[in-house]
């Protein structure tokens, strides 16, 4: 039997009562927002209303028509369901019951191309669609997430107050603002998640290096705690020290008991694919994704460990000094990771005509989300100071920081190679930095090779824009392939 319809109407409807959905509803209710909750499984809805939602400004709806009927106009309905076909299925169910001007919000981790498609399609039906990135996990959803809405901007005035009330706050400012048209919000969230992959991989490599130094897990935790009091102050550094200290029921550390195979839900992979599609060298996130793939080859790695030789060297230097160099390497690599992420944002913005405010994006990430850190305040300052900044590496603050860290960073990468400790993210960050600062790269040889075997042509210095072909062998003739413009 359906719930009776009360006289009071809801400010917003929310579809999906998994962990994120339930906590976001409770967050809204705490902020004076009346929410109408719906879940495909009615029993789950009833349990939620009878327990967590009891006594709060939360209504229930057991059918889609009932959900729509309980909402103020224009109706605002947010979905927190699995990305992909589930989103399209709910949109199809909602459409017959909605009116022109109503708003559908997808708060899941949808691919930005799907959000572009849905925004356009629903606009043709008079429905305003929003694709909103939501970051912060269970705790963020409950007490203040980072929210990155994009899509049909006509919807923003009707959801702005709700979103900014429930968002995390940094220096009193909500970690939520309008991002841009169609898929911009979900694209920014995708890059956020890619940076998250990179940050986690970097910390993992640092943990591996600490193991190679032979220091205790308690010493590792102390080191991360010290780092969290300085320029590396961040959510991920903070939780890492907690994880290192956590002991199982038997009194032993839990971390060494966990199987070393990392899972992933796809957003890091999407970031790497987008980087390839847009031709942006987001190498660190790519390595972070591949490192998770390598970790999944557990059985192969176990067999290989017994037959593939490695160095026998042991660390014999000053442990305290080397730990400081590791900190420098982590900080410098983190700068590179964010620089690459914002390069990707800039390129995509140019392609899709998104008017992204990079300083505002950094502010959105300063609270509530997984990559929140004091570091982001400097990113905001950098873009606020120079709206045309091409790379964070060129901003005065980060140029100074990476210059100070460079010597230690290089020593860490070199020492890791000597010890046989894999540091793909730390290493690729350094390789990118060296490539970015190099005026003359060996790509001229690549172009000559391509022209030699495929007549793909090349440009001469001082004659950019004019493509020429050389008959390198004397037998290739003067016919060239189509010009190369990537």
* 213-223 residues labelled b (16+ CB within 10 A) or e (exposed): beeebeebbeb
What residue spans in the chain does CATH classification 3.40.50.720 cover?
12-178
Query: What pLDDT does residue 136 have?
Result: 87
Residue set of the binding site: 16-21, 39-41, 81-83, 109, 135-137, 192-193, 197, 265, 292, 450, 456
pLDDT of 168 above 90: yes
**CATH for the 190-437 domain, from 3.30.565.10, 3.20.20.70, 2.60.40.420, 1.10.1040.10:** 1.10.1040.10
Nearest to residue 425, comparing CAs of 343, 330, 303?
330
Lowest mean pLDDT among 35-49, 173-187, 336-350, 468-482: 468-482
Q: How far apart are CA 24 and CA 134, in angstroms?
A: 10
Whether cis (ω within 30° of 0) applies to the bond prior to 440 is: no
Query: Band of the pLDDT at 447, cuts 50, 70, 90?
Result: very high
What residue spans in the chain does CATH classification 1.20.5.320 cover?
442-479
Query: Band of the pLDDT at 179, cuts 50, 70, 90?
Result: very high
Domain 442-479 has CATH 1.20.5.320: yes
Q: Can you say how many angstroms the Cα of residue 248 is from the centroid of all Cα atoms in its chain?
A: 31
Residue set of the binding site for NADP(+): 16-21, 39-41, 81-83, 109
Q: pTM (2 decimals)?
A: 0.91
SS3 content of the chain, % helix, strand, coil (to 5): 55, 10, 35
Mean residue pLDDT of the chain comes to: 93
Query: What pLDDT does residue 477 have?
Result: 66
Query: What pLDDT does residue 1 have?
Result: 45
The residues annotated as belonging to the active site are 189, 196
User: In 214-266, which residue ranges form alpha helices assigned H by DSSP?
Assistant: 217-227, 235-245
Please identify, in words, the CATH class of the domain defined by 12-178: alpha beta
DSSP codes, 460-473: -TT-TT-EE---SS
């Amino acid at each position: 039997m359906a719930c009776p319809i009360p006289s009071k109407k809801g400010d917003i409807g929310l579809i999906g009562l998994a962990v994120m959905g339930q906590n976001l509803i409770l967050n809204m209710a705490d902020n004076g927002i009346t929410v109408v909750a719906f879940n495909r499984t009615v029993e789950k809805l009833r349990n939620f209303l009878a327990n967590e939602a009891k006594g709060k400004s939360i209504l229930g709806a057991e059918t889609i028509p009932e959900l729509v009927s309980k909402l103020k106009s224009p109706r605002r309905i947010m979905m927190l369901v699995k990305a992909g076909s589930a989103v399209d299925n709910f949109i199809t169910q909602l459409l017959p019951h909605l009116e022109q001007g109503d708003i559908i919000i997808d708060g899941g981790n949808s691919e930005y191309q799907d959000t572009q498609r849905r925004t356009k399609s629903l606009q043709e039906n008079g429905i305003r669609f929003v694709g909103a990135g939501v970051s912060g996990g269970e705790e963020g959803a409950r007490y203040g997430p980072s929210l990155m809405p994009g899509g049909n901007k006509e919807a923003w005035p009707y959801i702005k107050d709700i979103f900014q009330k429930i968002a995390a706050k940094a220096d009193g400012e909500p970690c939520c603002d309008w991002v841009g048209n169609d898929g911009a919000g979900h694209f920014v969230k995708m890059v956020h998640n890619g940076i998250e992959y990179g940050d986690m991989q970097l910390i993992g490599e640092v943990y591996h290096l600490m193991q190679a130094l032979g220091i205790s897990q308690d010493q590792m935790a102390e080191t991360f705690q010290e780092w969290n009091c300085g320029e590396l102050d961040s959510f991920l550094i903070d939780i890492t020290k907690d994880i290192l200290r956590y002991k199982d029921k038997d009194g032993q550390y839990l971390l060494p008991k966990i199987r070393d195979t990392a899972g992933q839900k796809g957003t890091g992979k999407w970031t790497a694919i987008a980087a390839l599609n847009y031709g942006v060298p987001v190498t660190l996130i790519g390595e972070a994704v591949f490192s998770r793939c390598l970790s999944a080859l557990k059985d192969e790695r176990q067999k290989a460990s017994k037959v593939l030789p490695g160095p026998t060297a042991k660390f014999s230097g000053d442990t305290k000094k080397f730990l400081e160099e590791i900190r420098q390497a982590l900080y410098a690599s983190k700068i590179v990771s964010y620089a690459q992420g914002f390069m990707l944002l800039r390129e995509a913005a140019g392609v899709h005509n998104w008017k992204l405010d990079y300083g505002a994006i950094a502010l959105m990430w300063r609270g509530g989300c997984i990559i929140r850190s004091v570091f982001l305040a400097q990113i905001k300052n950098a873009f606020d100071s120079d709206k045309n900044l091409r790379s964070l590496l060129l901003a005065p603050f980060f140029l100074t920081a990476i210059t100070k860290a460079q010597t230690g960073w290089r020593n860490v990468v070199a020492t890791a190679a000597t010890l046989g400790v894999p540091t793909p993210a730390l290493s690729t960050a350094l390789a990118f930095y060296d490539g970015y600062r190099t005026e003359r790269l060996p790509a001229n040889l690549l172009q000559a090779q391509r022209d030699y075997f495929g007549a793909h042509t090349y440009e001469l210095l001082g004659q950019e824009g004019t493509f020429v072909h050389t008959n390198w062998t004397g037998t290739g003739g003067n016919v060239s392939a189509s010009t190369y413009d990537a």
